[in-house]
Structure 1
């Protein structure tokens, strides 16, 4: 069972419903047949009920239309859960029953007046967000009672895939929480688990021959066969692991809701009066609406004007207003007038006020008139789990972050539009920055940017990952590192914009994507590149190391370890008599202490070796480190038994040589599961081969470690091609546990 099967069942049901509506003479305007709940989500299981509602305007009399629709459906053998309600009744029912409100978040058009369905969907979503502060505590209480009554899917002897804690109902609730935009839920992980449970439920219903969500003991063998798992035990582990993961996500999300509600300050309601904001646009009851002077068919700037003012005032853009402008407004001519571009930039610069306004533009179809290319990334999930949001929401969040940085750049308009479009190439078969560049260029031209602005937007979209990738995977002291930046970024203005976009993009991704350490790496690299541009230097400088004073402990043949606190960790300086393996022993010391290594730099001060480490632990005792290091270096403590490779999570480690990345050393890049001991495994393997590690650059991106090692022979030369390939193979085998 797959999404394709559910989609096929849903499509067949849709056709039957549409035929029944047409056969009953259902009105083309003022009434619509809609699907809600699981049917609305296009997730019909083999024996699911069809949840449908015949909705109509309050002044539309349907007569016997409803019965004329239901009877043909029953004759077809469909199991329908049906209702007939006016739009005001829908709102009242949703207000009185939170379960109805949840079902209506997934409503979908089947037949009749599509505009009515769109209006209702927009209204229900806006209503849900508007009343979420009051409704979420009630939803949590309802969820808690269900959990107490039914137990947890991960531990039940007869799991209920839908109603138990960690089941499909919880996944639906979490999606409703996401729809409030109050808190974040790991979308990719949740969706993976939810779809896996839907697949399991489909199989369970096929096995049982009825609408069952429960897995009775005798089903596990059949379930294992259909899931292509080894046995019933494997099937149980598969299902229960999913339930446990959803339970974790649910608990995490509800804690975030609690925190949000605790911090939230409720403003006093405003009087429902019409306050003029701009030509044709006014504020009424905390919503931006059109006033009597508005002429949608004559004023192409009206939609952008309303949206910009709503965002700037951090109020609602009335869905009815946006829908009317989408339907009746006049299109902007290409290239856009200057006023239109300025209004669009004001919208993007509004900060937090952008969120709800952008969603309203999407839901009402108004955004299609402004930015039709957006549909390609709308609701598109990121491939990387480090992202908190889908591609579209992440792009909006990047604009919000960029709005706080516009004082640092000369072209705020370019920064904000680039922030919005930086991932516009996502979903393509080629690398998204490559695919996005021509799309962004065409959009910038349509928006009326000058030639320089168009080039800047296209360049920023193409190279928006350049700074962060280079800063976190290359030795910052290697002259070739700055050269990588300047190969593509040719002037100070572009570099300044790229620096701001990099920060905004990272902050919008997740807190882990813009730690103070990572910020320091990126900003330091950008600063060095700016200095190079300012000096006009063409050739890279040679490597240089600042010598350190050799401590007495090292002069006596021992090891000196000094810990200096940083704002977000520590800097550890280690000096000892130089030897191959010195870096590996210190890496083992950190690994055994479960200290996360961020970067390491090594250089010789004959006859001593100096290593400087930046680590995430803020409080380290140098005496403990020295004792552990001495035990490792003297062979009294074998780190290989404690830091052996962990079980693979399905992806083999990637180890490659980057010949273009270094000028005086051979660059080895390692990507593998993030875990303690990775640096040790790599450096210990290289030490056994007699290879010197000149520096190491360590980074973590989501669940993956991305580490770069600059290698030299003991004689300080780069590695020959065969020697480098052999080293890469040995490191790959060590990380894979071979």
Structure 2
């Protein structure tokens, strides 16, 4: 039988069946059609169930399905007994599809197998005809087959769709031992053959998702075949029967939306009402039916129904992702694969390791005592493009305490790394959201979770749109001086929707609330709030107002308070927001209009301020007095951070050696202040260990002295360490020098500030010096590499301010070009800088990313 387990059937004769009649209308008076009264009773009973009287007295969706199951079982049992289909008769009636699962929507096909124990073909044909014809006369869609147990097993072995249907077979009437032979045989065959069929099973599901799309983000979703639909629940059941998953991977009743079982039940209820409203079998929910279905289920209007469906579908989709991943790791090994070594646990961050391609907790991790562990795990997952294991998410959900307010700086940094990781962040945030962890971090998220858009131009639900906007903004971080505020603003810009009132104004208040909780500086909280309040300003002004009118430009400048940083952030946010809205929303016309508006506003605002050095601590001046090499290690102001101060004679290559030693010891530079006094360099680094605790200051000093003396090549060792972190993949040459195999989201940018520029102060930038600012994605040992570039290109670093904001860096260096400050020298230095920073993946002609 070519059975669709959720109601459809593949037409055509079955070459394996002993006897299989074709479907078609019965002939009036045909002796095979049974008594007229019997047919009328079945049809009348079905009609009464489907009519159900007034709305107040009709059966609800679950009760209707159960009543239809009972009706058909009763009729089949009675008819089977009349035809001699009894225990020890050699015949059995077996149900698959909706009747097999006891979840029959009103107009779903009746999927039946007439099993026989190699009975005489003439008798089989007679019994089959007398069973099928009354059902056809009652106008019941029937998908049927007649087989022996070996024939059914043969079909299941060669037809994946039929196998999935028969996995849920259920005995209805007749010889129960015969039914059990089939059911037990199908399941044993499925378990023993799953290794060879797993890839086909996954490929079939992916092809179905490609055809039918995602239920959560479709205006007229396919409830059966769409991603997150009923067939995906069947897929999970099949993996559970194969003993590869537990059937409810990762989500229980305490999860948002009530977990997998609740999502499945609600989706069945919607499909049941869809059949009842349409008066026939239908799987695609049409927009004109949504209000009536929502009212029948007491959900609300079509927007409320869409939100409920999104919740169900995303819960099921997450469960399927976890189920497939778990099943793949559980597949039995054969042959040489048995000899594979057990996966190594590779440290990723404090308390977080990689194991078997998933992010899991380290053995000594204590989630109940480490509030920042959730974000560290999420940041590591997004940055490395790996999923967090379901067991880890469950453990964190059960044990992780709330972050104290204001958040520790390390937690804020991990949040920035997560949302700044581009498309890799989407699945990580989805997993956090489905397990309740994301709502714990951002309680305000609940109002927009699964909220459908009111405008047809939007592709995504509001919460997914926010995450998509942050992903788009991550590719624009090097265009702004505050990449941290750009990705935060992108994540929060529509958070005021679903609450009534102007969502921009409501969202601005929420941004203040969230920024304060995160512990941002008051000025940054204000800037973040203004981003959310004015996130539509540039697009609306550029497309609706006359840009040649000076009053138009002045009005924008006045509303932004003349702040060029806010203007820069809003420009990038407008592009990210449009790109995340839907196809065709961002184009050359809109881009050119907004760009021209921003250009004119900048002319009115008149420039930006120069970076300035931090003052030197008097205690460090005392350390420089003896002219020796000193390294101090002190606790930082935030958890898991330390301040490393290096004071040494200011010799060529010192900065590269010092930064390289820190990178070799897995110390990530969060910020740095580089200066000099007399003949000594005074460099202070705020660092965070990637895992564990940092080495003692004495060991760092010894390695620094060895590096200065030429005993070790720190950059060569960093390259080796980077390759090992990427699984020994070779570094790829894209710009004439080695760059890491994990590429940036945004293109790097180098900005030059000349002496005497706006904002400069005497004594900060001396004649013959320039300031070069780098905006790029971070990389292992990046500061050491940059220092080596300056050294080799005749650029003497006089002071520097280094900042790591999430996964991005904004580094300003005051340099003197010893070989002359010429255009050619600047261009050569810029090329050398860009050669050692992460570059985005190149794209093909059609815009796809090269892999």
TM score, norm. by length of structure 1: 0.42
TM score, norm. by length of structure 2: 0.37
